[in-house]
Each structure stands twice: as C-alpha cells, then as structure tokens.
Chains A and B, each alone.
Chain A
C-alpha cells in the first residue's frame, strides 16, 4: 500500500498462492507430472526446441555461409515483420472471420520466419546477436528480438504502419504475390531447408494471395467509400512495390549458386498477376515512382523507415528486458 491510501481502510489482503505449499496449490493442475524443469505444458518458450531439429542443415557445395545466412534473414525478416503487422489486427479486424483469417496468415508467416531464422543461425552463427553468458534464448529468438533495426533485411513495404483494412488488403496482395512467385522458384533450391520451407510456403501463400485478391476485388467493386479507401491505400503503398522485385547483391549471388532466387526474375510474373486483379477490379495500376533509397540503400541493405523502429520497440521490449528469462 502506498501513502496515498493512508487513512483509508486497507483493502482485503489476498496472499499469492504458494506453489510449493505442502497441501498443494491451485497451480498443481497446470504443471506437468514429470520432474521439475519439465516444460511440456508450455506451447512456446525457451525450451521449445530448434524448429530444424533433425533436419539436414548441411551447406550446399560452393556456398558462402555468411551470404546464405544473410539471404535467409531477408526471407525471414519479410515474413516476421509482415506477420507482426498482421497480428496487430487481432481483435481489431472488421469482423470475426477476417480477424481469424489475418491471424492465420500471420501464423503461417511466423512459422516460415522461425524456420528461416533458425536456418540463418545454423548457416552462420556470427549473425546471431551476442547474449549474456548462460542466456537460454535460442538463436531464432535472439535474431528476432535482439537485433537493431539496421540489422533487419526486410523490404520497407512490410514494415510501414497499418492503415485501415483496405491498406492491409492492398499490402497483402502485393506482398503475397511477390513472395509466392519467389517461393515457387525457391522450391528447387540446392539448400534442403530453403527448398522445404518454400514448398510448404507455396501452399500457404496460395491461400493468402487468393484471400487478398478476393478482398481487393470486393472492396474495389463494393461501395464508393470502400473503393476510395482501397485506391488511396494502393497509391500510398505503390512506391514500395518495386523493392520487392529489386536485386540485392546477396540475392544475385545466391541465385547464381542455385540456392536463392533473384527477385527481378519474377518481376514480370508478379506484374501479370497484379494486372489480373486490377483488371477484374477495374483499377488502374498506380503511376508512382519507387521510393528512393539512401545512396542506393533500401530495406534489403538495412535502411528502414522510422516505423520499423517503433514496431521493433513493441515486439522486442519484453524479450530485451529479460535476456536471461525462462519462458
């Protein structure tokens, strides 16, 4: 009780239940039946094992470990940051079905991100931020929660703050169209992990792109208001579209090694798919120049908008406050 309560009657005192009380406590039902330290009752946490456990993580011949790790970070960060923006809709979407849909899509992308972050860490442990000695934080979490904004390799399209639902639909259409095209080709990667992640991701992104495309069409052909909002969102986001199909030197190197995909190689296909949606929706492709980088640097180089810093501040705050935490 603080001094502010002086003179008032003390509220009833409820001691916190003691989990070690001899007669047992309300916590008993929550705990596993095994020895102390058994983490099996928790779905997630520091004991949730490496998502690549038992997967062949051999580096393909002739591939630079650091470049492979950097490439994995690019693919992972796009998924992680897009997932986080989508998850911000939880309990805020226009209706329950879309709340659930966006959460499902966020979960698919988070799953891809986890595998890719784990792949990056396995390929080159030097990309993983250093944590205090004895920290139980696994490498994938260290990459997600302990990197600075400048170390993230995602395109800027996925990081800008959410707007209305039309903004999310437009962004998701543009993003999922490019990612699906890249992963379709990545399925034949010489890297076993990237290939496996891509094959699964293609199935998931097929549902995602259809979802975004259908909503795009619905909003475009819906009411004057829904169409206005959609066109505003598309116009606002379009300058960020080009970055999705631009080539970073690491992507070029990984494509040459038959491990990665040069995004520029899917630019035409992406344009055709988007044109298909625009034509059905009677929407003109926006005539807006790409958002410039700074001295040629963009999201893939670690150059980001301020909005990524704010996103990371929220996403990382709990993990950073407890680098030794057991979850």
Chain B
C-alpha cells in the first residue's frame, strides 16, 4: 500500500495514490484514510479513470459520504478528472489495519489506540463482565484506567477515564 514515488517514473496510479493517501478521516482528522486502513486501493481502469476503493469501519459509519467527497475533491484538484469511488465490503475492516503511524497519531492526540483483535474460532462468546484491555491513559500514561462505556461519540470508540489524572479519554475499539 506504500508504493515508492519516483518523479518521472511513477505511474498514474501511483501518483493518484500519493494524493489519496494524504486525505484524512473526517471524524479523526489526525489520521489519514490510509493510516486508518479504510483506503483499500487506488487503480486506473481501462478508460483511464482513477478508481479508489474504500471500506466502512462500521456498517452505519456516517462518514462514508464525506470520505468519498474528500477523495474526489482532492484528486480533482490534483488534476485527475475522472474519479470513481467504490465501496469494498469484504474483507470487513479491522482495527488491526490501523498503521503504526496511525496509532502514534491517535495517542499524540489524546486517544487510546486499539489492541490486537482476539481471533477465536467457533461461536462468538458472550461476555457479561466488563471488557478487560491493557491500555494506558494517553495523557499521563497511567495504566490505572476504568471503562465508562463501550460506546462513545463515534461508532468506533469506547469511553474511558483515567483514575490517576482523572481525565476522560476515548479508546478506539478492537473490531
């Protein structure tokens, strides 16, 4: 997903990718769509149109239209006239796709990054006790944190509170 960009020898798809990869998430603007793992591919089809594939984080993600429009506008501005955005539902997005750079950007902006998704086989297990996560406060690094709610201001986040510095913070959920 990170083609080397050499001026003069780059293909059109690589140049389009170089533009698309800088577009940021509308709800977490510290992350690019590439860092979030939402930008799946940038290709040039037989007619010369740039075809960008994105995938939703959650089924009801209300930011999809904004992502689409931001990508189209940025590519238009960069001189790509014919741009199509397609939705790739499969494979389903996973928080494991957030890049290392993306994870650092989350923490720098006071958000807690998701841990690895636990892969299980067989039926999904019911969990009646609060989810345990080994996470630290993104502000003071204390591991003494407590879950406020598994649901937060956007579909992809849970709410936490640090019991050391007492600040609330958001955790990007494992999915």
Contacts and interface: CB of A to CB of B under 8 A. Distances in A.
Interface residues of A, number: 54
Contact of B150 (A53, A180, A211, A277): A211
Given A97-B148, A100-B151, A276 B126 contact: yes
A195 to B, nearest CB: 7
Interface residues of B, number: 44
Contacts of B69: 40
**Interface residue SS majority, chain B:** loop
B97 interface: no
B148 A52 contact: no
Interface string A266-279: 00010001001100
A192 B58 contact: no
B21 to A, nearest CB: 19
Contacts of B46: none
Given A206-B124, A213-B126, A107 B60 contact: yes
Nearest to A218: B128
Contacts of B129: 214
Given A48-B65, A199-B92, A211 B85 contact: no
Given A100-B153, A112-B60, A213-B126, A55 B66 contact: no
- Find the residue from A103, A207, A209 having the highest chain B CB count within 10 A: A207
16 contacts: A40-B73, A49-B65, A100-B153, A103-B151, A108-B59, A111-B56, A114-B60, A115-B59, A192-B90, A199-B92, A203-B175, A206-B124, A210-B131, A217-B128, A277-B126, A277-B128
When A and B form their complex, which 5 residue pairs have the shortest distance between CB atoms, in order from nearest? A54-B86, A111-B60, A111-B59, A196-B89, A40-B69
Given A195-B90, A196-B89, A199-B90, 12 more contacts: A34-B73, A40-B73, A43-B62, A53-B87, A54-B51, A100-B153, A101-B149, A108-B155, A110-B60, A111-B60, A112-B59, A269-B123
